Amino acid sequence: MAEPLKVNKKNRKLAVDAKMADLCFTCGTCAGGCPVTGVDGYDPRKAIRMAALGLEDELINSRWPWICTLCGRCENQCPMGINLMKTFRKARGLRDRDKVPGPIHKGTMMNLQRGNNLGIPRDDFLMLLGDLGQELAAEGLPGFYVPVDKKGANIIVTVNSKEPFGEPDDMKFWWKIFYAAHEDWTVSSTNWEGVNWGLFSGDDPAWKEQVGRVLENARRLECKTLLLPE
């Protein structure tokens, strides 16, 4: 005969809150406010009950933690203060890395090696910034250029690597605002990635490393304000 499920078992993989099973009274507030309830049958109330009742491996190996957007609304609204979002993110982190869906694990590794999720070389990035700056100057912003590694600038801005990779004109929107506002800004020539896939893949060390690099750029260049358009 199968063993009965044990609730509140210690040493659980997902034990963000060991009393979760007792605390949750299945009110459904989390599911009611969740923007993705119903997608592929997803239901945060069911997902958190799985974690509480010991069905951790089933949850970790399901699509559900990856359907969750990690917006945190459920956690904010839960009347019992249960850490739903943190539990679902932790479930992501416990998935075998070669089974993380999509490109986010590969991109995280690429970022750690080369400073951005798509591995764009520094020289290519700088050449692109130079070309785009000249284009903008010719398009009605006289004197415009992209100030790279400018020490003491007010703002240091990060970049989403998909822009230099495939949608370079999207960077110009911010630059036009800076130009119109006479803002003192800069972008780092290295480790400029603003999209932290370690956050979304549940990889805490990679998440922390990337945050540290962005902060280090701001410190090295003595900038006052960090702007992450993502």
Q: Which is nearer to ligand SF4, 44 or 54 (CB)?
A: 44
- H-assigned helices in the chain: 20-23, 29-33, 44-52, 56-60, 64-67, 73-77, 84-93, 104-114, 122-138, 162-166, 170-180, 197-201, 204-220
Judged by beta carbon, residue 115 or residue 198, the one nearer ligand SF4 is 198
- Of 131 and 204, nearer to ligand SF4 (C-beta) is 204
- What 3-state DSSP class applies to 88? helix
Q: Which is nearer to ligand SF4, 70 or 94 (CB)?
A: 70
Of residues 68-127, those binding ligand SF4 (CB under 6 A): 68-74, 78-80, 82, 84-85, 88
Closest distance of CB 114 from ligand SF4, Å:
31
Cα 145 to the chain's mean position, in Å? 29
Three-state secondary-structure class, residue 150: coil
In the complex, the smallest distance separating the C-beta of residue 59 from ligand SF4, rounded to whole angstroms, is 12
Q: Which residues contact 168 (CB under 8 A, 6 or more apart)?
A: 128, 132
Minimum CB–partner distance for residue 96 and ligand SF4 (Å)? 22
Contact positions toward ligand SF4, by CB under 6 A? Answer: 24-30, 34-36, 44-45, 48, 68-74, 78-80, 82, 84-85, 88
